[in-house]
Structure 1
Amino acid sequence: MHIILGATGHVGSAVAETLLNQGEPVTIVTRDAGKSEKWKQKGAEVAIADVHDVETLRRVFRRGKRLFLLNPPASPDTDTVAEEKKSLACIIAAVEGSDLEKIVAESTYGAHDGEGVGDLGVLYEMEQKLAETRIPFSVIRGAYYMSNWDWFLETAEQEGKIYSLYPADFKIPMVAPEDLGQFAAQLLTEPIDRTGLYYVEGPEIYGPADVADAFAEALGKPVGTVVIPRTEWIPYLKKSGFSQEAAESMAAMTDVTLEKKFEVSDSPFRGDVSLRAYVAGLVKAKV
């Protein structure tokens, strides 16, 4: 049995869908009972549990042998780093004594030790804590999620604009959730002793201008890029609903990317989904 954390999000749902399509047994962990029926219809078992409830979560983990671990992102109107550290501590505590035989964890490019680097520091801590459990594990460091641009479908439609903290021509590795999900499912179903650190990207690197072009093509209308100056990052994020702490965290992570202060692989695993295909699917799903 595969236990999936984060199955109601982009990547976790892609992991679960891939495994179910392969005929693998899957248990979805969610705290929202209202989301369980969809997964039951797909053939999954559903466990209702809050990640902060260590004992309940450990009982759920004992129902399976392999775990996909995605630390749930905190709401941007909270102190995201503090909240994500709390959830991570609970998940790691639940893993201990769970009898799991293998864990596949979702991390990100740029994960590294240090304070003031937002989620990058939390995910690095996750990687280190997993090593302490002595359970065989793999870590997937995914490139920048294409799904981070979902938010701008509305502005692209209504204003003909997307907004970016990055310069329009600043290209970075990006990856579709579907590709991450398929890769994670592959690791979950492979022998226990296949472990390690894996970097996963899409077929090409892209910049915000490419995102705008993809929206323009999918919507059939001009779409431009509005670049937010560095001095306006935090005010812009707070206006968008971020708390002060979350805005500072996002600004810090953006700075890490802009300054290219992150480790990359010379030979990452590459998914098949292009940015244009991803955006086209996003637009089609809304119609």
Structure 2
Amino acid sequence: MRILIAGATGAVGRLLVPMLLDAGHHVTGLSRTPAGAERVRRQGAEALQADVFDAESLRRVMTNTAPDVVIHQLTALSDADGEATDRLRREGTRHLVDAARSAGVGRIVAQSIAWAYMPGEGPAEESVPLDIGAARPRGAMVDGIQALERTASELESAVALRYGILYGPGTWYAPGGAVAAALAGDPSARLLAYLEADRSVTSFVHVADAARAAVAALDWPSGPVNIVDDEPAQGREWLPVLATALGVPLPEPTAGRLDWARGASNSLARSRGWRPEHRTWREGFAAQAGPTRPLG
């Protein structure tokens, strides 16, 4: 299968490229920078330098590569830039889908998130509506996710992978990453994550499991699928475990809870054969090793 990856050098993309190559696919990775394109080539894939905000050049790239599937893993979260990520979800997805249609590509697998659901009790399944109308800044994020998923669904086949909070190499939650700096009290640590040891519930997924899900989703039917581990947990449970693994001070527990922070169920993904190798953040946090590498 010919696969074009937008976001091939991100935390998920850099793991996804070799997985797809090992599975026998022909892979082309997009990067905004020459250094990023060279990184993709060193992994054994083809690489092209392209800007997803340049609709015309993206259309030419799509026509020339003629992929069977587009995998959309674009974010700006390496820079903790929520506004840029929202723009990528709206405008970047729009340009990817338009270019795909112009080249006769009918399938897309896109990165979404599993914490945009409406408030409620218990882990959310995919049938729960998105939290449209939420106050900003959350509302802008949810709007971006809605735009991404709606735009992707214009293609004949579109799978939206609603990832839990990503941890592992190349993420904020790795040793030496932004979360460690924030928990250690670094005032310059720019962060979008919610870090309170309260009763708010979070679902996590290791980046390697997220990449495996993207490979598996090449054959899945259209629609959203939660990609999370087996143990949604309150902040007062997971945050001390993470702090210990990172070697930073333990946060004080609090009693509050964000009503939308409910976690997500992975039942649908499991019914399709996907299983997280890191079944719970408890083992995954402890297994993290090595410093975070810069994304690009």
TM-score above 0.5: yes
Percent of residue pairs bearing the same amino acid type: 19
Task: Check whether the contact 1:143–1:199 (CA below 8 A) recurs between aligned residues.
Answer: yes
Query: Counterparts of 1:55 and 1:271 in 2: how far apart (Å)?
Result: 38
Paired letter, 1:132: E
3-state secondary structure, aligned to 2:159: strand
Go from structure 1 to structure 2 and tell me whether the alpha carbon gap of 1:194 and 1:82 turns closer, same or farther (over 3 Å shift): closer
Could you tell me whether the CA contact under 8 Å between 2:86 and 2:141 is conserved in 1? no
Matched with 1:196 is: 223
Is 2:109 the counterpart of 1:104? Answer: yes
Aligned counterpart, 2:53: 52
Per-residue deviation at 1:228?
A: 9.6
| 1:51, distance to aligned residue in structure 2 (A) | 0.5
- For residues 158 and 196 of structure 1, the distance between their equivalents in structure 2, rounded to whole angstroms, comes to 40
Cα contact 1:61–1:95 (8 A) shared by 2: yes
For 2:142, the equivalent position in structure 1 comes to 120
**CA distance in 2 between partners of 1:113 and 1:155 (Å):** 27
Instruction: Tell me the residue number matched to 1:68.
Output: 71
Q: Is the 8 A contact 1:215 1:280 kept in 2?
A: no
- TM (norm. structure 1) is 0.73
Q: Using the TM superposition, give the Cα deviation of residue 201 of structure 1 relative to its aligned residue in structure 2, in angstroms.
A: 1.0
Instruction: Please tell me the root mean square deviation across aligned C-alpha atoms, in Å.
Output: 3.4
The question of 1:224 aligning with 2:259 is answered no
Amino acid of the residue matched to residue 105 of structure 1?
A
Gaps of 5+ in 1: 231-253
Q: 2: distance between equivalents of 1:78 and 1:170?
A: 21
Within 2, Cα distance between the matches of 1:83 and 1:96? 21
Match of residue 171 from structure 1: 201
Q: 1:140 aligns with which of 137, 161, 164?
A: 161
Aligned to 1:186: 216
Tell me the number of residue pairs that the alignment of Structure 1 and Structure 2 aligns: 254
Higher normalized helix content (fraction of residues): 1
SS at match of 2:215: helix
Structure 2 unaligned runs (5+)?
118-129
Shift of residue 179 of structure 1? 0.7
Superposition TM-score, scaled by structure 2 size? 0.71
Amino acid at match of 1:141: R
Query: CA shift at 1:26, angstroms?
Result: 0.8
Q: Is the 8 A contact 1:7 1:28 kept in 2?
A: yes
Residues in 2 aligned to 1:277 and 1:25: alpha-carbon distance in whole angstroms: 34
> Are residues 1:213 and 2:241 paired?
yes
Task: Say which SS state the counterpart of residue 132 (structure 1) adopts.
Answer: coil
Q: Judge which range, 84-93 or 274-283, deviates more.
A: 274-283
In 2: Cα distance, 1:196 partner to 1:21 partner? 26
Asked if the contact 1:103–1:136 (Cα under 8 Å) also holds between the matched residues in 2, the reply is: yes
